[in-house]
Amino acid sequence: MKNKFTLFLLIGLTAFSFISCFDDRDDEIIPASNKEIQDFVWRGLNMYYLYKPDVPALQNETYASESELDDFLKSYDSPETLFDDLIYDPEDRFSVLFSNYEILENSLAGISKTTGMKSKPVQLDTGEILYYVRYILPNTDAEKKGVKRGMLFNRVNGTLITADNYKTILEPETFTIGLADIVDNELVSLEETITLNKQEYTENPVYIINTFDLEVNKKVGYLMYNAFNRNFDDVLNNAFAKFKTENITDLVIDLRYNSGGSVETSNDLASMITGQFNGELFTTQVYNNNFENEERYFNNKISTDEDINSLNLDKVYVITTGSTASASELLIASLRPYIEVVQVGTTTTGKYQGSVTLYDSPNFSRTNINIRHKYAMQPLILKTVNANGFTDYKDGLTPTFEIKEKILNLGELGDPSEPLLNAVLSKAEGRTFPISNPLEFIPLESNEDNPTYQRMYIDDFDY
């Protein structure tokens, strides 16, 4: 990427200090002041933020002098309040500031502290809030304790889940859930409780690989893929090697719970599905006017330089829900100009923007980082545009065939009778599928163990 921006060097640069020769002992390191961290926040957004043109406080000409900028930064009581004020709310739901980049880095690598229970809060039409279990990670405490997909719970540590506490109630390292049921459309508390402990865990996003033989002489490959994590690109590529070996005729990519991740991995997955478009435009990355736009192309190598196992398909089925976001949506949008994408489920999140991790260093990379604090941020720095010019889908991607998950009848993931997968297989066989009205509920967002939830990020960024 060619950096065309130079004016930012004239403002705030002298306020930037970098400490390079401290002893390793923490007691000799003087912590950074709020002003020092806030200077980093302003400079990073001034340089990279996609919506910089829409934020007057990020414009160089807003300040008559460096001291005026300093006064502006010092008027905030914390880096968080400054960051929030500099974010352009009408378009940006996703930029994030982190007080500890080590937690962020672990999350990007798929490492987090988790019980292994992947659950989601919902609000019933009565106003009551509960969680339902979506899936269980293998070899975790939740699996050992017998937690199952479809379980409902409305209490944590004896406290009823409410609108005031549902976002934080699962934060403790150890907690006890109180199971519940819905009987005649009424939420009923059960006596059974389960105590769960968090542990550090590396999640393999390639969750299920399966194949199904259909009656119409078709073999369908099924992949449930839960995050675009570049550290598992080889595992993903091996799944496609299996599909090639088994000569599948149709492919289902289940992204219902995939909130995004690496742009490069999304690019590679598109190349695995296809293969016949090597060198063609995958997406254009549009930045603010400090930078030139960049193009990404369908390719034939994954990040480890291994050859991509391509299927050369001209159609793919994709399962989505409201939790399908960012790099998942990028895959769908970028494939649509080239092949038929049959989307089954519900409308996606609507995130077409990408981020990069910015550190407090001379060029915002992790090299020569300021060791006096651990703040980092992932602001939106680009938006993606497919080969047909399609972008700005903030209301999400609408499914070809709409079918909702039913929290009282979720089915077993990867089983051909599971309602959403069954709908896809029915379409592949040319059959209709029954749609019943599920219990109505309002989905709520809570990402208690995943700081990179709904992120699409560039992990091969040239700072």
Q: What is the mean predicted confidence (pLDDT) over 49-70?
A: 97
pLDDT digits (tens, 9 = 90+) for 261-289: 999 999 999 999 999 999 999 999 999 99
**pLDDT of residue 447 exceeding 70:** no
Same domain, 186 and 61: no
Residues 65 and 168 in one domain: no
Give the chain's mean pLDDT. Answer: 90
Number of domains in the chain: 3
Of 157, 181, 202, at which residue does a domain stop?
A: 202
Q: Is residue 242 part of a domain?
A: yes
The model's confidence at residue 448, banded by pLDDT at 50, 70 and 90, is very low
- Among candidate residues 90, 105, 128, the one where a domain is terminated: 90
pLDDT at 450: 57
Looking at the fold, whether 233 and 171 belong to one and the same domain comes out as no
Q: Judge whether 107 lies within some domain.
A: no
Tell whether 245 is covered by a domain: yes
Pick the closest to residue 255 from 335, 334, 344 (CA basis). 344
pLDDT category at 434 given cuts 50, 70, 90 is low
CA 10 to chain centre: 36
Q: What is the 3-state secondary structure (H, E, C) of 43-101?
A: HHHHHHCCCHHHCHHHCHHHCCCHHHHHHHHHCCCCHHHHHHHHCCCCCCCCCEEECCH
106 assigned to some structural domain: no
Q: What is the pLDDT of residues 374-416, one digit of tens each?
A: 999 999 999 999 999 999 999 999 999 999 999 999 999 999 9
Q: What does the pLDDT look like over 234-244, one tens digit per residue?
A: 999 999 999 99
Do 411 and 431 share a domain, yes or no? yes
CA separation (Å) from 27 to 19, 23, 99, 298, 370? 15, 9, 19, 50, 16
pLDDT band at 156 (very low <50, low <70, confident <90, very high): very high
431 located within any domain: yes
- Same domain as 300, residue 265: yes
- The residue among 176 and 13 whose pLDDT is bigger is 176
Asked whether residue 95 is domain-assigned, the answer is no
Bridge partners of residue 201, in order along the sequence: 112
Tell whether 15 and 29 lie within a shared domain: yes
Element spanning 259, H or E: none
pLDDT digits (tens, 9 = 90+) for 284-336: 999 999 999 999 999 999 989 999 999 999 999 999 999 999 999 999 999 99
Give the whole-angstrom CA distance, residue 153 versus residue 137: 18
Rounded CA separation 329/389 (Å): 15
Mean pLDDT of 23-50: 87
* pLDDT band of 18, cuts 50, 70, 90: very low
Residues 222 and 323 in one domain: yes
Are 198 and 253 part of one and the same domain? no
Whether residues 228 and 331 share a domain: the answer is yes
Question: Does the structure show a pLDDT above 70 at 17?
Answer: no
pLDDT above 90 for 70: yes
Domain ranges, residue 144: 113-202
* Per-residue pLDDT band at 103 (split at 50, 70, 90): confident
Question: Which CATH number covers residue 394?
Answer: 3.90.226.10
pLDDT at 104: 87
Residues paired with residue 127 on neighbouring β-strands, in sequence order? none
Interval 144-163 mean pLDDT:
98
CA 21 from centre of chain: 36
Any idea what the CATH number is for the domain that residue 153 is in?
A: 2.30.42.10
Q: Is residue 2 a part of any domain in this protein?
A: no
Same domain, 309 and 176: no
pLDDT of residue 25: 47
Indicate whether 134 and 158 sit together in one domain: yes
**Is the model's pLDDT at 457 over the cut of 70?**
no
Pick from 202, 218, 234: which residue ends a domain? 202
Decide if 32 is inside a domain.
Answer: yes
Domain match, 167 and 224 both: no
